[in-house]
Amino acid sequence: MLDIGPIHRREYELEGRLAACTQAPVSGHGKNKLPNNLKAGKGGAVSKKSGGTAGSGLVVIAQAPGRIHFLGEHGDPGAGLYLSTAIDRWVKVAVSARKDNSLRFYAADLGERKRTTLSNLKYKREDRWANYIKVAINLFVELGFPVKGLNFTVIGDIPQQVGLASSVAIEIASAVALRGYLGAKISDMDLARSLFASHQSFLGEVPKIADYLIGLSARNDQFLLVDESGPTVARIKSPFSRYKIILIDSRVPRFGTENELAIRKESLKAGLELLSHNRNGASFREFATMDLIDSMGNFPEEIRRRSLHVVQEIRRVLDAADCLKLGDLTGFSRLVFHSHESLRDLYEVSCPEIDWMVKRAQETVGVFGARMLGQGFGGCTYAIVKNEANNEYRLRIDDYERIFGFRPGIHEFKIATGSRVVPN
């Protein structure tokens, strides 16, 4: 990855040595619950340091990781439950002061520049990546911090459009950099909730708070059991210290997927209404596989299959977390493969290319779980591969291009820590 400090200084003609804010973010450990008193647009539990470091010539740089959901994607739409980690691919954002009220954005990897003003801070489709930085700016404006003109530079090495939450990483890195720049005493847990609210109000779409929690709460060599109903985060030490996470991008073109996913969401909505008899606030977590087996004949078959996937995926997430705690790698692997089979047969969001890659992983000794990643209908698979099995697994994938006509993209990751201010 490019060295963002000199790039930022040169882009905005800044003089002097780069510095990093040394304020340590306040974060919890183990199982953390977000407080309910922090609302978008309110100060809540946040304290503000008047003026912060603004105007001091300080450049603050922060980084945020990508993430992988090992289990839980396409789970309960009302209260997601995920088993996830951060990965060692990052977005870095540098921020410094301007003498005017302009906001300048520079994507060093793309060589693109965007600009706006504080009085005109709004979503613009043509601003693309810069809109995610604006989400973070909007957060601190809404919380009443003294935000003035700012320069931003962003770089990153998270693979794009493959389900690794690169856009969320931009938001988190920008927010952590601004927290340091403004001297804001806001915990990681509160920052996650504030980013969630700011994204929703600024971009007009509902994100997954789990992605913010992972980016801010992750630790090296730890899985995260993220429960959006709390929301809470529980950390589990990884038993995969001698393994790599290998992501394979199928490069399958994805057309018409939004409509297909919308149909599935409607099926889940209908299934939950039938199971709960239209009771408000119901969740799939209240039901077991037997409830759906007993309902056979009373449910439309497609709705029953979609709902069955979600009910069983919730159980798989919890069982997989138990396997990790016990060091039961075989049990964990079995649950991951079963999850993919469910996505293929019940939720029906896989495709032949993805199924082929998962099958090759399943046939390789030293691979402990492989599954579709992301929204489906193409996209990627991940596999947890023992270091000694890496070459064998890659050899088994060699025939993919010959059979399907697409050259796969291959990326290797390790479990990584969450966001932080980067010292300079």
pLDDT of residue 293: 82
- Ranges in the chain, pLDDT < 70: 16-57, 424
User: How far is residue 206's CA from residue 118's CA, in Å, rounded to a whole number?
Assistant: 24
Does residue 378 lie in a domain region? yes
User: 156 lies in which domain range?
Assistant: 4-238
Query: Are residues 181 and 309 located together in one domain of the fold?
Result: no
Q: How long, in residues, is the chain? A: 424
Q: pLDDT tens for residues 99-115?
A: 999 999 999 999 999 99
- Please pick, among 188, 190, 211, 227, the residue that the annotation labels catalytic: 211
**Are residues 252 and 395 part of one domain?**
yes
Q: What distance in Å separates the CA atoms of residue 239 and residue 237, rounded to the nearest whole number?
A: 7
Q: Are 175 and 252 in a shared domain?
A: no
Within this chain, do residues 124 and 230 fall inside the same structural domain, yes or no? yes
Amino acid 330: pLDDT: 96
CATH number of the domain to which 269 belongs: 3.30.70.890
Indicate if the alpha-carbon torsion angle 185, 191, 193, 195 is positive or negative: positive
Residues 114 and 234 in one domain: yes
Catalytic residue check, 211:
yes
CA distance 118 to 104: 10
Contacts of residue 50, defined as CB under 8 A and 6 or more positions apart, other chains included, come to: 146
Please tell me whether residues 220 and 267 are part of one structural domain. Answer: no
Verify that 247 and 149 share a domain, yes or no. Answer: no
For residue 18, what is the domain's CATH number?
A: 3.30.230.10
| Tokens coding 73 | 């994607």
Half-sphere exposure of residue 70: CA atoms within 13 angstroms, side-chain side: 33
One domain, residues 146 and 277 = no
Task: Indicate if 228 and 287 belong to the same structural domain.
Answer: no
* CB-count burial class (<10 Å; 0-12, 13-18, 19+) for 41: middle
- Does 79 share its domain with 151? yes
Flag whether 421 is in a domain.
Answer: no
In a domain, 424, yes or no: no
- Residues 223, 253: one domain? no
pTM score over 0.85: yes
Give the per-residue pLDDT at 298.
81
